[in-house]
Structure 1
Amino acid sequence: MESSEGGGRGKGPPRRHPITPVFRGAGDANKPNRIFERTGPQKGSHSSDAGQGQDSRRPLFRAARTRRLPMSALPREPEAFGEQVLEILLRHWPGHEATLTGPFDLVVDGRHLGLENLYRMVLGSPDRGTEIVEDYLEKIFDGDEVGSTPIPWELAKARVMPRIQPESIFQQLDRSQVAHVPWVNGTVIVFVVDMPQVTVSITLEQVVRWGTNMDELDEIARANLERYSPDLQIQLIESQDGGKAAILGEHDGYDAARVLLGRLHERLAPELDGDFLVAMPSRDMFVAMTANPEGFVERLRKRVDQDYRRLPYPITRELFLVTRDGVAGTAA
């Protein structure tokens, strides 16, 4: 189950933004992330995670929120951080059984909940640490309630969206249960149903139940992404040595996925002098750049590596080459 702050796309028409060149400093390339997410079925998880409508967990008991703890209660040490998250969960949601099995591994009602992305969120906004943890957990439980209800294909079809994840997600998730297709640079494309308040990860069981297949799901997801992104607001940066970068920052959970847009080369090639490179160190970061000069690309590579190690929902530090024929990986 995934959830995003401020809800999903909603039921209204997509926002339309023109391409607006804005020449700014490179610091604008890294805006804080405000997206909360939990991906689908995890290894060793409850069987209800694999599908919809079979959730046998006890009902959610909501307690009135008590006074928030001071920020000193959310330490930077991973193990102590996990212990504090556990304390917050048990205090606000006492109807759930939860234990900490590792610094970033919380088991809730028999299901594993990774905490590393939450930890990175808190590090990005330490003054809001307790609030971020509480909101994150609340969205997880709210999303579980939505996810326990079967979603008919007639409703889901128009809301299927793609997301790019690193292959390493299958160290925690069961590959055989997650609807996905292999991609380049050690990544995969996964799929979600974007509901007004949460995004629900799609499992292979759902794909079979809907009577569709991975090729059709991929095609539908890309088409929906295209309709959702008819025009994009792009910030253009030009360095003194002639390098150019185009930064996309919708912060809707699909910034990195927009590398899948069929008309991406057509839209950005005129601004970036032809074929270009794309960096997406995290789910909510998309930076396209000219392939030259070498010094410019190297400086951005270093920034990408820093963001990959720092931001929530990391994807890859590798660059992608976008040409008229499609997208290729650059990893050796």
Structure 2
Amino acid sequence: MGKAADEGSAMAHMPKELNKFAEQVAAMLRRLQPEYAVKLIGTSELLVDGRRLDLDNLYRMVSHDEMRGQEIVEHYLEQLFSDDSIDQSDMSFDLVRSRIMPRIQPESIFEHLSRELVAHVPFVNNTVIVFVTDLPNMTVSITTEQMIRWGITAEELEEIARENLDCYTPQFDMQFVESKEGGQAAIIGEQDGYDAARVLLSGLYNSLVDRLGPDFLVAIPARDMFVALSAGPSPFLQRLHRRVVQDYNRLPYPITDELFLVTRDGVAGAVLEDFGVQKLEGIGPEAFDEGYDEDRDAA
């Protein structure tokens, strides 16, 4: 009886590692919905019949009640697909307009997604702005098919998404830190899936110019990371560049290890050498030792 109880307990638990959790969810979804094409495309992201499905919310739900992990996942998937929430193709534009949000993705997403099927606009630093419908329990990518049916262009979609981003959290916490070298940093950590996208905020420049100077830099190594930096001194930027490269290599939803230059005229790609920074290239997570980790938060 004890062995049976242990086996039942093991079945109730979901893996704690995010990537293994996603793999098990994908397997459960294939079993529950065999007619759907399910593919794991990121650390915690599935491609379901061509639509991106973010599993972060589900992972958080399970982490709060680990003993019922499998039950929670099965209920979530059953509710999701019984309501046909994944199929947004017939939703009217008026219904979803206020829920359209931007996300910044690396150009490399098109290695496993068709560029022609994903609604997007080009951005800087080899990235693109894609668009999602933000629903209570999930986000679903917007396709070019929807965009065409709604009768709007990608540029109009971008304008709407930026406006919604401005309104999404009109007040959010920003932590300011002064480095040992004299540089300044501003960190946003809402952890709502849109931290990196906040480089697109219309009021970003005016909110930071007094603290960081007339031209400043922004790092968004991953979806849930946003760090704005003063444009010097160079030792400060070199150290923070090293951290950005590390975070880009280790965090889920990586975007870019490049820096963005924010001026009164807008956002552009930054040339590191112009700020006295030597670009770190051709290295992976193994290049960073634990000694650096001890220093990584001393911005």
Normalising by structure 1, we get a TM-score of: 0.65
- Aligned position for 1:67: 9
In structure 2, the partner of 1:112 is 39
1:211 to 116, 132, 151: 151
Residue of structure 2 equivalent to 1:53: none
Aligned to 2:181: 241
SS at match of 2:32: coil
Q: Distance in 2 between matches of 1:91 and 1:117?
A: 14
Show the counterpart of 2:278.
Answer: none
Q: In structure 2, how many angstroms separate the alpha carbons of the residues matched to 1:178 and 1:238? A: 40
- Residue deviations 1:144-187 (CA, integer Å, cap 9, x gap): 53122522111111111111000000001111000000010000
8 Å contact from structure 2 (residues 182, 233) kept in 1: yes
Could you tell me how far apart the structure 1 residues matched to 2:266 and 2:204 are? 9
Alignment pair present for 1:146 and 2:85: yes
Q: Distance in 1 between the 2:172 and 2:16 partners?
A: 39
Q: Which amino acid aligns with 1:110?
A: A
Q: Which has the higher contact order (CA 8 A, sep 6+)?
A: 1
Q: Distance in 2 between matches of 1:68 and 1:238?
A: 47
AA aligned to 2:231 is A
What fraction of aligned residue pairs are identical, expressed as a percent? Answer: 47
Can you give the 5+ residue segments of structure 1 that lack an aligned partner in the other structure?
Answer: 1-65, 98-107
Structure 2 residue aligned with 1:320: 260
How far apart in 1 are the matches of 2:28 and 2:206? 52
Name the counterpart of 2:48. none
Structure 2 contact 29–77 (Cα < 8 Å) conserved: no
Q: Could you tell me how far apart the structure 2 residues matched to 1:289 and 1:136 are?
A: 40
Pairwise CA distance, 1:68? 3.7
Partner of 1:158: 98
Deviations 1:269-301 (A, max 9, x none): 111122110000111100001110101111111
Indicate which of 173, 178, 195 corresponds to 2:118. Answer: 178
CA distance in 1, matches of 2:161, 2:28: 39
Change (3 A) 1:158 1:228: same
Structure 2: distance between partners of 1:293 and 1:225: 31
Structure 1 position 217, deviation (Å)? 0.7
The structure with the greater share of residues assigned to helix is 2
1:165-224 deviation digits (Å, cap 9, x = unpaired): 000000011110000000100000000111222222100000111111111111111111
CA contact (8 A) 1:90 1:96 kept: no
2:211 to 246, 251, 271: 271
Distance 2:258 2:108 in 1: 14
C-alpha spacing 1:320/1:91, structure 2 compared with 1 (3 Å): closer
Number of residues paired by the alignment? 248
Aligned partner of 1:85 in structure 2 is 23
**Structure 1 Cα separation of the partners of residues 78 and 260 of structure 2:** 36
Please give the per-residue CA displacement for 1:298-317, whole angstroms capped at 9, x wherever unaligned: 11111111111111111000
Distance 1:242 1:138, change over 3 A: farther
Cα pair distance change 1:228/1:296, threshold 3 Å: same
> Any unmatched runs of 5+ in structure 2?
1-7, 46-55, 273-299
The residue matched to 2:147 in structure 1 has which SS?
Answer: helix
Runs of at least 4 residues off by over 4 Å: 73-76, 88-93, 130-144
1:94 aligns with 2:17: no
| Alpha-carbon contact 2:42-2:253 (below 8 Å) kept | no
CA spacing shift, 1:259–1:75, aligned 2, 3 Å: closer
Contact 2:245 2:257 in 1 (8 A): yes
Looking at structure 2, the residues matched to 89 and 224 of structure 1 have their Cα atoms a distance apart, in angstroms, of: 31
Shift in CA distance, 173/217, structure 1 to aligned 2, threshold 3 Å: same
CA contact (8 A) 1:85 1:133 kept: no
The one of 277, 284, 287 equivalent to 2:224 is 284
Q: RMSD in angstroms over aligned alpha carbons?
A: 3.5
